[in-house]
Amino acid sequence: MIRIALVDDHNIMRAGLRAILQKEADIEIVGEAEDGENGLALIRQSAPDIALVDVHMPGISGVELTERVRRAKSATKVVILTAASDAPFPRRLLEAGASGYLTKGSPADELIKAIRQVADGRRYIGSDVAQQLALATMDGERPPFEKLSARELEIAIMLAKGLKANEIAKRLHLSEKTVATYKARLFEKLEIDNVVALAHLAAVHGLLKKS
């Protein structure tokens, strides 16, 4: 039996996933969470085989959740789901520890295929995401946030959401000096010099959830 946790802030999306997964005899839903904080608690308590995680959530994002699951050396594998047709920063999420990446528009049979493949110890990238990655490689032009390391991307998201350096340091168990170093480094890579520019760039490139 493949034990699944659903982590998504949209009730309708969770209901849709539940309806698809409950039809499969080898899949069991062990719990649901509507944000990243509760998602992490659910993963710690239930230790599911796979967590289906939305990229964009209030508070802790899918990127940060993926990083934390990896750092905790949890056996739970993360499969990222995003509503964006252009699938923001798949490379960095895979580097952060995600085992799968799908858009929410993927067919139900592809979702089931991804779950079984990840449960079997392999990675899965949705066909539309794979196409985007291939085209980006051919063009030779990487989106700006692809330049960042997984940790830099994690901090960039928090800064773009308005978190202060001391808040980020507390959340990530880092010193404020270390956070400042990451901030300076990501600003340099993105060729910006302030948080307002970062927030604008993040909104343009789908890093932040649209209201």
State CA 56 to chain mean position distance: 7
Q: What is the 3-state secondary structure (H, E, C) of 134-154?
A: HHHHHHCCCCHHHHCCHHHHH
Rounded Cα–Cα distance for residues 207 and 160 (Å): 9
pTM, to two decimals: 0.76
pLDDT in tens, the chain (211 residues): 999 999 999 999 999 999 999 999 999 999 999 999 999 999 999 999 999 999 878 778 888 899 889 889 999 999 999 876 555 567 777 777 899 999 888 899 999 999 999 999 999 988 777 666 655 554 556 678 878 887 888 899 889 989 999 999 988 888 999 999 999 999 999 999 999 999 998 887 767 765 4
pLDDT number for residue 211: 47
**What's the CA gap between 69 and 65, in Å, rounded?**
6
Q: Where are the domains of the chain?
A: 2-138, 144-204
Provide CB contacts within 8 A for 17, sequence distance 6+.
6, 8, 52, 111
Decide if domain 2-138 falls under CATH 3.40.220.10: no
Q: Tell me yes or no: is domain 144-204 CATH 1.10.10.10.
A: yes
Half-sphere exposure of 68 (CA within 13 A, CB side): 21
| DSSP string for 19-43 | HHHTT-TTEEEEEEESSHHHHHHHH
